[in-house]
Structure 1
């Protein structure tokens, strides 16, 4: 792995997990020394983060982690709805019905009590997303979805875990998977719309409670 790729991957993970909070200064000298790379690959990594919308250059010498507020979250979900509802429709027409049926069964039996179980649930969602991406057979759409998900990880980390919301989310994912497995494109898109509406409401309520 190139030094710039390694620096980018580390900084991306730290921004997504909240180790580098919004507004944190990404000083070239300090970050290069911390990550064990020279300043040239670090600059490349910072440029990629800026292109992703995760870092902002406040001045020629100062780069900071981008802030994220309720307006950003609303805009993110506007794009997410358009992309994911389209993806669900296409997956219902093109996807592996048996594979989505198997995922629906897994969503029916998730446990969300302990942290390892929640981690397993998020891994299940990641598998669902990967299967959805493969099903749509559209590189432009999946590239746009990957960019949205990069920001979505930050949003989820900023919001607090809500056990009731996680249970509801599992039910919603199950319905989407069932709709895709039965080739019901309208239901797949509608179920995705409802899921994203509920997810946005929960995230905004969580952030409100944390403020």
Structure 2
């Protein structure tokens, strides 16, 4: 893996997971040292993050992690509903019905996957990821697939803003079951409608969490006085480093 790819994967994961919160300065010197790469591949990684909307211009020549406000979440879900409803329609028309019938059965017992000791709900969201993967394969639409891949990065960030609770997850499991059942029955209209119902409930849950959090919510701007915020290194670009092509990826970098 190229150093720039490793740096991008690590930074992207840190942003999506919330380890690098909105407004955090992505200083070249600090991040290059943290990730074990030189500044040239680090710049390439930052450029990719900016192209995806995960980083935006800050003061001087720096980039900062982008904000995700309630209004941003609303706009995100407008696009999400359009894309995912179409994906559900296509899956119902083109997919293997037995695959979705099995997923519907598993979602019927998904409440048992919700763990009070796992804030990330790995088991539950693992099943959701299986449904997403089945939809991706069934819809057989490469352009739609690429659009959804970009969208899901921001959806993952938005989901971090919501406070998962057993009641909401149980309801979401029921909603996913209805989506899978509609696709298994080959009913494209019902599959799209069930998807829309689920997405609107998810949006309401996230917005309620943001409203409850108030001005200090994690989507708000980062406090420049925060002692944990990396300082702007403000250094000019340096010469190309011959080691850039190999680099030393951070242990947490995705493969």
TM-score range, shorter chain: over 0.9
Corresponding residue for residue 182 of structure 1: 185
The Cα of 1:60 is off from its aligned counterpart by 5.0
**1:202 pairs with 2:202:** no
Aligned 8 A contact 2:25 2:58 in 1? no
Structure 2 counterparts to residues 3-22 of structure 1, below 5 A: 3-22=3-22
Q: Quick one: which of 193, 196, 209 aligns to 1:193?
A: 196
For this pair of structures, how many residues does the alignment match?
211
The Cα of 1:162 is off from its aligned counterpart by 2.2
Can you give the 5+ residue segments of structure 1 that lack an aligned partner in the other structure? none
Which stretch shows the higher mean deviation, 9-18 or 117-126?
Answer: 117-126
**1:109 pairs with 2:109:** yes
Structure 2 counterparts to residues 112-131 of structure 1, below 5 A: 112-116=114-118, 118-131=121-134
Q: Please identify runs of 4+ aligned residues in structure 1 that moved more than 6 A.
A: none
Aligned 8 A contact 2:4 2:44 in 1? yes
> TM-score, normalising length from structure 1?
0.97
Corresponding residue for residue 26 of structure 1: 26
The Cα of 1:7 is off from its aligned counterpart by 0.4
**Alpha-carbon displacement from aligned partner over 1:36-81 (angstroms, at most 9, x marks no partner):** 0010000000000001100002245211000010110000000000
The Cα of 1:192 is off from its aligned counterpart by 0.3
- 2: CA distance between counterparts of 1:208 and 1:165? 17
- 2: CA distance between counterparts of 1:49 and 1:153? 15
Helix, strand or coil at the partner of 1:107? helix
**1:144 pairs with 2:147:** yes
- 1: CA distance between counterparts of 2:175 and 2:168? 10
Q: 1:209 to 1:125 in 2, by over 3 A?
A: same
